[in-house]
């Protein structure tokens, strides 16, 4: 006996299939289709979604020259019946009813992938349709028989039963099929009879029934749907194949899918394609505000679909974000994709049992997708690491603001068991930490998609902006302290301290550099300059003010008490200028943070003052003006802050950035010239970075001209 898996005899086909005993698609339809060269089907109702359920076998069937013939009866509603009874041409009404079903499938996320397969079969001339209806004594009825025939060139497998050729008919409803195999003497007669019945039906030789062509009408619907879904690719290959992967606006059935109301931008599709081409690993370096979260979730949704279709493998997704409010934000986006995540932070008791239950369900089979979103701190802890070690299955790690994971204590916790890895950051390289940057590149892989702010503005992913540097002088006390600290920094470096130690705030050099940055951030002259700028926009809403952290270093030097800069700014805005304002800091409780952002969006709060909490990940797209009182020389901070105000929002086409740039006093001691020159060189580098992409670059550079001339910084 021939037992080749590519023959019907070798497909291990049984006598009957019933939903309480069998998986109809997995155990019968897919093996039979994989072994066949032709497939005939006559059913009461046909939907393209069934092709999605049959998976890769449909493509392979077409590629090896397989042919499908389908006879179906359209569903006639009350209006259709009325038109037939009043004399409308019967064939026209039937075709319109069938096309109505097909067009509905074009916008149904459960059927859209099947429509894509149907389009391929039609384009390859591998499928032919006809419509059947009952016409007897002037009455019209539905053709409701359900038969099918698989052929491999030698044998046939014929069946009849209750299942329609719809997705629910295969995987949702309770159905049954009786199967007859031509090589079995007990079945041969019935198999031949069903095959003959279909041939008579197809050729319109069956009494009472009428059968009319329908394929040309189908083509028109397919062509129209192809225009509407332009840019999609085939999803039927594994990521490792290197073939294009579909990144659709609507995606396949499943618990984790791109929502229908979400438009995936072209550059996001490109990013996902590149990630797949790199074997499901890589870093997406995308400017703040360009949708890194949605891009990553779209990639994971596509991965989930590929794994389900190719391997039927469950997938665990672990998202690691730096802060709790970002975990909450990720959770909302994950829910939009159709899955409720486990949020893991704070007390282990709050998340551990649910997380273990999820991973067990994935390994044992009840679930095929699961998402855990956690903070960097929880991720690095022993309980979470033990959870990851216990999981044995497909696993994708998403590192949000992944540069944070390069710290010495974090990078050793990155799990090697994650087969798929996505790193997200506008600035993936760590500041003065080459070792940490290399560790992240080794783990997540190369940068597979790179879109900076300039490119994002060109692609209209971010809005345009104006940039205004406001020059602020250090007063005499501040200038003296700055020079003193700078000399200590120089001596530390001369004595062998590595500059990369600046990333460690607990190191001697790190503490000195932080103190020097604090002098610039807290410069007394900034408050008066800020007042002048805000008074120009006193009646406007959607303003962000970034303040320096902590207290002025001079207060620490003298041991005196005094207000923090953020307190002074709140007093200026609220009490002196009588504007509505709110502070958003690490001390602000999580529920209050959401309330502040909602009120800000509704213009109930004109301005938000913050220190660091609005640097990474928080969505405030309504923001139109940003005042930068404090910006470190670390490009990550000022890139994040600039990106925060450039997010697109309805009615917003332009943002304004006001940057308070510290310069030495005009009558400073000439002996401090080199120290001051180094200070300005760093400040000017940041200003030029901001100005280069602004709408008013010429004006910005002209503002700096006097300072450049004094310190001979035209080469800066």
Please tell me whether residues 202 and 331 are part of one structural domain.
no
- Assign 169 a pLDDT band (cuts: 50, 70, 90): very low
Specify the pairing of strand 369-375 against strand 342-344.
parallel
Tell whether 145 and 75 lie within a shared domain.
yes
In angstroms, rounded to a whole number, what is the distance separating the alpha carbons of residues 620 and 638?
16
Question: What count of other Cβ atoms lies within 10 Å of the Cβ of residue 586?
Answer: 10
Radius of gyration of the chain (CA): 33
Beta bridge partners of 128: 69
Q: What is the pLDDT of residue 4?
A: 42
**CA-to-CA distance for 369 and 316, rounded, in angstroms?**
6
| pLDDT recorded at residue 120 | 63
Q: Return the closest-CA partner of residue 612 out of 635, 646, 637, 580.
A: 637
CA 530 to CA 518: how far, in whole Å?
A: 17
H or E element at residue 468: strand 464-473
CA distance 451 to 428: 12
Specify the residue for token string 């703040």: 288
pLDDT-wise least confident of 162-176, 192-206, 235-249: 235-249
Say yes or no: 161 and 280 in one domain.
no
pLDDT of residue 611: 81
Residues 280, 413 share a domain: yes
- Both tokens assigned to 13: 């086909």
Distance CA 401, CA 321 (A): 7
Asked whether 625 and 658 are in contact (CB, 8 A), the reply is: yes
Averaged pLDDT score across all residues of the chain: 80
What is the structure's pLDDT at 432? Answer: 65
- Report whether pLDDT(491) > 70: yes
In the chain the first and final C-alpha atoms are separated, in Å, by 83
CATH number, domain with residue 105: 3.30.870.10
* Domain-terminating residue out of 189, 204, 227: 227
DSSP β-ladder status, 315-321 and 369-375: parallel
CB 545 within 8 A of CB 587: no
Pairing of strands 447-451, 625-628: unpaired
Q: Quick one: 118 and 181 in the same domain? A: yes
Q: Please report whether residue 665 resides in a domain.
A: yes
Q: Distance (Å, rounded) from C-alpha 89 to C-alpha 78? A: 16
Most confident of 78-87, 220-229, 592-601: 592-601
Q: Which of these, 288, 302, 281, lies nearest to 636 by C-alpha position?
A: 288
Q: How far apart are CA 166 and CA 53, in angstroms?
A: 9
Reported as a single tens digit per residue, the pLDDT across 566-590 is: 999 999 999 999 999 999 887 888 7
Task: Report residue 226's pLDDT band, with 50, 70 and 90 as the boundaries.
Answer: very low
User: Quick one: average pLDDT of 414-424?
Assistant: 94
Least confident residue range of 76-85, 205-214, 262-271: 76-85
Q: Do 275 and 174 fall into the same domain? A: no
Domain finish residue from 410, 427, 458: 458
Q: 236 forms bridges with which residues in the sheet?
A: none
Question: What mean pLDDT is predicted for residues 319-330?
Answer: 91
pLDDT at 540 over 90: yes
DSSP one-letter code for 241: G
Task: Give me the number of domains the chain comprises.
Answer: 3
User: Is 518 within a domain?
Assistant: no
Flag whether pLDDT at 607 surpasses 70: yes
**What's the rounded Cα separation, in Å, for the pair 467 and 696?**
7
Q: 507 lies in a domain?
A: no
Closest CA to 84 of 14, 135, 26: 135
Report whether 305 contacts 659 (CB < 8 A): no
Q: Which residues contact 374 (CB under 8 A, 6 or more apart)?
A: 318, 319, 320, 321, 327, 343, 344, 345, 351, 384
Does residue 625 belong to any structural domain of this protein?
Answer: yes
Q: Is residue 498 part of a domain?
A: no
Q: Which two tokens stand for residue 97?
A: 């009813």
Same domain? For 218 and 256 the reply is no
pLDDT in tens, 629-658: 976 555 556 677 787 788 888 889 899 999
Residues 6+ apart with CB under 8 A from 704: 469, 684, 687
pLDDT band at 186 (very low <50, low <70, confident <90, very high): very high
Confidence band of 700 (pLDDT split at 50, 70, 90): confident
Same domain membership, residue 244 and residue 204 = no
Write out the two tokens for 456. 């994002």
Q: What is the DSSP string of 358-405?
A: HHHHHHHSS-SEEEEEEEHHHHHSHHHHHHHHH--SEEEEEEETGGGG
Same domain, 577 and 447: no
Question: Helix or strand or coil: residue 695?
Answer: coil
The whole-angstrom separation of Cα 349 and Cα 472 is: 51
Q: Is residue 63 pLDDT above 50, yes or no?
A: yes
Residue 418 covered by a domain: yes
Cα three-residue angle 351-352-357, rounded to 5 degrees? 105
Nearest-10 crossing angle of helices 324-336, 590-601:
60
CB count within 10 Å of CB 700 equals 20
CB neighbour list of residue 214: distance below 8 Å, 6 or more residues apart: 95, 98, 129, 130, 131
Structural domain of 246:
234-458
- The CATH number linked to 675 is 3.40.50.300
Neighbours of 230 (CB within 10 A): 6
Residues 207 and 303 in one domain: no
Q: Is 321 helix (H, G, I), strand (E, B) or coil?
A: strand
Determine, yes or no, domain membership for 509. Answer: no
Provide the whole-model pTM. Answer: 0.61
Q: What is the pLDDT of residue 586?
A: 78
Residue 132 scores a pLDDT above 70: yes
561 and 703 together in one domain: yes
CB burial string 395-428: b at 16+ within 10 A, e below: bbbbbbbbbbbbbeebbebbbeebbbbbbbbbbb
- Co-location of 300 and 173 in the same domain: no
pLDDT above 60 (res 163): no
Q: Is residue 55 part of a domain?
A: yes
Residue 317's CB is within 10 A of a number of other CB atoms, namely 27
Of 458, 492, 510, the one marking the end of a domain is 458
Q: What is the mean pLDDT of residues 72-89?
A: 64
């Amino acid at each position: 006996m021939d037992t080749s898996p590519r023959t019907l005899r070798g497909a291990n086909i049984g006598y009957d299939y019933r939903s309480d005993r069998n998986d109809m698609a997995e155990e019968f339809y897919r093996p039979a289709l994989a072994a066949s060269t032709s497939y005939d089907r006559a059913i009461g109702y046909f939907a393209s979604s069934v092709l999605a359920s049959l998976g890769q076998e449909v493509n392979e069937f077409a590629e090896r020259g397989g042919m499908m013939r389908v006879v179906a009866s359209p569903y006639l509603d009350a209006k259709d019946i009325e038109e037939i009874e009043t004399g409308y041409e019967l064939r026209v009404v039937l075709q319109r009813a069938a096309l109505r079903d097909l067009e509905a499938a074009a916008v149904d996320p459960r059927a859209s992938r099947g429509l894509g397969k149907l389009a391929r079969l039609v384009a390859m001339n591998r499928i032919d349709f006809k419509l059947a209806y009952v016409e007897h004594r002037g009455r019209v009825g539905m053709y409701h028989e359900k038969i099918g025939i698989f052929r491999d060139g030698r044998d046939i497998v014929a069946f009849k039963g209750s299942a329609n050729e719809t997705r629910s008919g295969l995987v949702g409803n309770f159905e049954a099929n009786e199967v007859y195999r031509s090589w079995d003497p007990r079945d041969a007669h019935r198999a031949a009879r069903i095959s003959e019945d279909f041939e008579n039906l197809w050729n319109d030789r069956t009494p009472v029934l009428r059968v009319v062509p329908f394929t040309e009408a189908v083509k028109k619907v397919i062509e129209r749907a192809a225009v509407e879904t332009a840019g999609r690719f085939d999803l039927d290959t594994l990521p490792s194949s290197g073939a294009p992967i579909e990144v659709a606006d609507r995606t396949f059935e499943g618990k984790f899918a791109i929502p229908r109301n979400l438009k995936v931008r072209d550059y996001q599709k490109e990013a996902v394609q590149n990630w797949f081409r790199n074997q499901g690993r890589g870093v997406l370096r995308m400017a703040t505000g360009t949708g890194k979260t949605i891009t990553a979730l779209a990639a994971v949704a596509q991965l989930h679909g590929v794994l389900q279709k190719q391997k039927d493998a469950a997938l665990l997704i672990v998202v690691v974000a730096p802060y709790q409010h970002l975990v909450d934000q990720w959770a909302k986006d994950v829910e939009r994709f159709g899955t409720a995540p486990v949020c893991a932070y704070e007390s282990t008791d709050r998340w551990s049992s649910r997380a273990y239950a999820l991973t067990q369900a994935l390994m044992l089979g009840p679930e095929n997708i699961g998402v855990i979103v956690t903070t960097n701190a929880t991720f690095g802890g022993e309980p979470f690491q033990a959870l990851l070690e216990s999981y044995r299955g497909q696993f994708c790690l998403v590192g949000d603001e992944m540069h944070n994971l390069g710290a010495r204590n974090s990078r050793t916790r990155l799990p090697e068991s994650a087969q798929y890895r996505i790193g997200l950051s506008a600035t993936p390289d760590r500041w003065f930490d080459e070792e940490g940057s290399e560790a992240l590149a080794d783990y997540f892989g190369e940068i597979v998609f790179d879109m900076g702010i300039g490119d994002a503005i060109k692609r209209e992913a971010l809005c345009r902006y104006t940039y205004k540097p406001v020059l602020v002088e250090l007063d005499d006390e501040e200038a003296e302290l700055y020079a003193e600290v700078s000399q200590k920094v120089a001596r530390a470096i001369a004595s062998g301290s590595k500059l990369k130690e600046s990333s460690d705030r607990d190191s001697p050099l790190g503490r000195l550099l932080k103190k020097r940055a604090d002098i610039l951030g807290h410069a007394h002259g900034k408050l008066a300059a800020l007042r002048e700028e805000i008074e120009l926009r006193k009646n406007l809403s959607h303003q962000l003010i970034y303040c320096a952290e902590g207290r002025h270093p001079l207060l620490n030097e003298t041991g005196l008490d005094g207000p923090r800069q953020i307190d002074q700014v709140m007093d200026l805005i609220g009490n002196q200028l009588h504007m509505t304002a709110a502070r958003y800091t690490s001390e602000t409780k999580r529920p209050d943070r959401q309330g502040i952002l909602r009120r800000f969006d509704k213009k109930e709060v004109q301005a938000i003052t913050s220190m660091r909490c609005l640097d990474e990940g928080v969505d405030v797209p309504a923001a139109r003006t940003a005042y930068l009182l404090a910006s470190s020389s670390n490009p990550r901070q000022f890139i994040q802050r600039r990106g925060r105000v450039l997010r697109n929002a309805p009615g917003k086409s332009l943002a304004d950035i006001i940057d308070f740039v510290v310069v030495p006093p005009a009558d400073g001691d000439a002996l401090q010239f080199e120290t001051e020159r180094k200070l300005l060189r760093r400040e000017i580098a940041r200003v030029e970075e901001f100005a280069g992409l602004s709408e008013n670059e010429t004006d910005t550079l002209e503002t700096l001209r006097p300072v450049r001339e004094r310190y001979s910084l035209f080469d800066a």
